[in-house]
Amino acid sequence: MDILELRRYCLSLPLAEECTPFDETTLVFKIGGKMFCYTDMVEFRWIAVKCDPDRAVLLRERYPELVTPAFHSNKRHWNGIRTDGDLPDAFIREQLRHSYLLVAAGITPKALRQEIRNQIEKAGLPEE
C-alpha cells in the first residue's frame, strides 16, 4: 500500500477527515474529531492505528516484525503497522476499518456518535 492508497481508503470511510495537526509531514485521519490513523507522509514506512487491546497483542504475536506498539501513542491501544513489509493491502485495510469503527463507537456526545452511525449505515463501508 502506498500513501495515495492509504489516503483514498481512509477518506472513503463515512465522515473521515484528514489533517496535519502536529507538523507538515504527519498526516492524521479522524472521525468525529478523534484520530483513527496517522503516518509520516515523507517516509511512509508505517501507519499507526487504534486497536482493541486483546486484538493488538494477538497481531503483534502473529506478525512480530510488522505489527508493533505504535510510536508516540498509548502502546496498549495503538499498533504500528509496517507498510514496506509483506502484509497484504487487504490486511492493512482491515486494520484501518477496525480502528475507524473502534474510534467511532467511542465518540461523544451521543448525538454525534449516532449521526456517525447513521452515515455508516446509509453510505456503508468500503470493501476491505
Q: Where are the domains of the chain?
A: 1-121
**pLDDT number for residue 19:** 98
pTM: 0.93
CATH topology of domain 1-121: Aspartate Aminotransferase, domain 1 (3.90.1150)
pLDDT above 70: percentage of residues in the chain:
99
Distances in Å between the alpha carbon of 60 and those of 30, 51, 126?
24, 11, 25
Secondary structure (DSSP) of 5-39: HHHHHHHHSTTEEEE-SS-SSEEEEEETTEEEEEE
3 class by beta-carbon count within 10 Å (0-12 exposed, 13-18 middle, 19+ buried): middle
Contact (CB, 8 A) for 56 and 50: no
pLDDT digits (tens, 9 = 90+) for 53-103: 999 999 999 999 999 999 889 899 999 999 988 899 999 999 999 999 999
Three cell numbers at 18? 484528514
- Mean pLDDT on 1-30: 97
> If you search the block for the grid coordinates 449516532, which residue do you land on?
114
Contact (CB, 8 A) for 107 and 34: yes
Of residues 115 and 78, which shows the higher confidence score? Answer: 78
Secondary structure (DSSP) of 73-90: S-TTTEEEEESSSS--HH
Residue type, 38: Y
pLDDT tops 80 at residue 127: no
